[in-house]
Amino acid sequence: METRQPTLTLGPVLYLWEGETWRDFYFRIADEAPVSHVYIGETVCSKRLHFFEPYLADVIGRLEGAGKQVVLSTLALVTIDREIRHVRATIDGSAYPVEANDLSALGMLRGRPHVVGPMVNVYNGATARLLAARGADAICLPPELPAASVNRIVADVPGVDFEVFAFGRVPLAISARCAHARSKGNIKDNCRFVCGDDPDGLPVLTLDGQPFLALNGVQTVSHTCQSLLGELHDLAEAGVSRFRLSPQHCDMVAVARIHDDVLADRTDADEGIARLRAVYPAAPLSNGFHEGREGAAWVARARNTAHGVNA
């Protein structure tokens, strides 16, 4: 079993942020956030690439200068030739490890060290072993996985750094169709980048007005913000190497510090959760997936005792 202290990573920004905002966000992460790895790159929609590409070199330079390991992330849904070419160019030209979020990238990355992203279906040790044999040295497990599966996979496959999705609205689905554009009367091919109006997603409420989901272009994310702050120590003990913080429209440096404090035992989980709620009040916290329940649920943990349920 690894005894190495786990680290924090910053997942790719899932939303369409204005170019300079995107750049400044990463500059601040580079300067201030206690994270070991930073994933950058568009994973949701190939039409958005031009928004941040002018700033990419500067951002990578700043992150590297700050000692962060840069990982280039790739598209989750690859269908047309332009998208294939983009994935190939990212992989071929990269001086950095690449995160595969779809099967095409997995194929192209064979034999090279790479990261398998949370959009690739790794539900068991057999699959993780196979991907490791093809060159994956780190795997971010799907957010849907319950703790029992995470623990089992990590135990089954030594030699791979496993990462879990510890903070952020959960990416739940992706479509060829853009519900975000359609909600504003456009279609995907003529979308006018309306998803840029909603830097934290466009809320989807039930007909009763109950918050449920959020639209992020062709992606649908949860209304709730997954938080495994209370589970960090258990997961670390099980052998998980990294915890992914998925950027939301809030102070992500503060989010990273809270997780760092809890990991280092400077703060207990309950206090950490209270601080997290204050930093990101826009969404209630959830950890239902981890508990093997509905993902939207919040299962409060009483320390070293039976779980209390407060969904």
Q: Are strands 219-227 and 211-216 parallel, antiparallel or unpaired?
A: antiparallel
Size of the site for another protein (CB under 8 A): 76
The least distance separating another protein from the CB of residue 59, rounded to whole angstroms, comes to 27
Span near another protein by CB under 8 A; candidates 24-32, 60-68, 77-85, 254-262: 77-85
Confirm or reject binding of residue 246 to another protein (CB under 8 A): no
289 forms part of the interface with another protein (CB under 8 A): yes
Own/partner long-range contacts of 118-123 (Cβ < 8 Å, ≥24 apart): 118/11, 118/142, 118/143, 118/165, 118/171, 118/244, 119/43, 119/76, 119/171, 119/174, 122/153, 123/149
With CB under 8 A as the contact rule, the residue among 10, 213, 228, 238 that binds another protein is: 213
Query: Is residue 170 near another protein by the rule CB under 8 A?
Result: yes
Binding of residue 14 to another protein (CB under 8 A): no
Tokens standing for residue 28: 């601040």
Out of 57, 80, 95, 306, point to the residue binding another protein (CB under 8 A): 80
Residue 301, token pair as written in the block: 């943990």
SS3 73: strand
Tell me how far, at minimum, the Cβ of 86 lies from another protein, in Å. 12
Q: CB 227 → another protein: shortest distance, Å?
A: 15
Contacts of 87 (CB under 8 A, 6+ apart): 74, 75, 78, 102, 104, 105, 108
Q: Is residue 189 classed exposed, middle or buried when 0-12, 13-18 and 19+ CB atoms within 10 A define those classes? A: exposed
C-alpha 126/C-alpha 9 separation (Å) is 25
Any known ligand binding at 225? no
Q: Tell whether residue 49 is a contact of another protein (CB under 8 A).
A: no
Only segment of 31-39, 54-62, 151-159, 269-277 that touches another protein (CB under 8 A): 151-159
Is 260 near another protein (CB under 8 A)? no
Site for another protein in 108-147 (CB under 8 A): 108, 110, 119, 121, 123-131, 134, 142-144
CB of 60 to another protein, least distance (A): 25
Amino acid at 226: Q
Short-list 175, 229, 196, 281, CA closest to 22: 196
Annotated binding site for [4Fe-4S] cluster: 45, 178, 191, 195
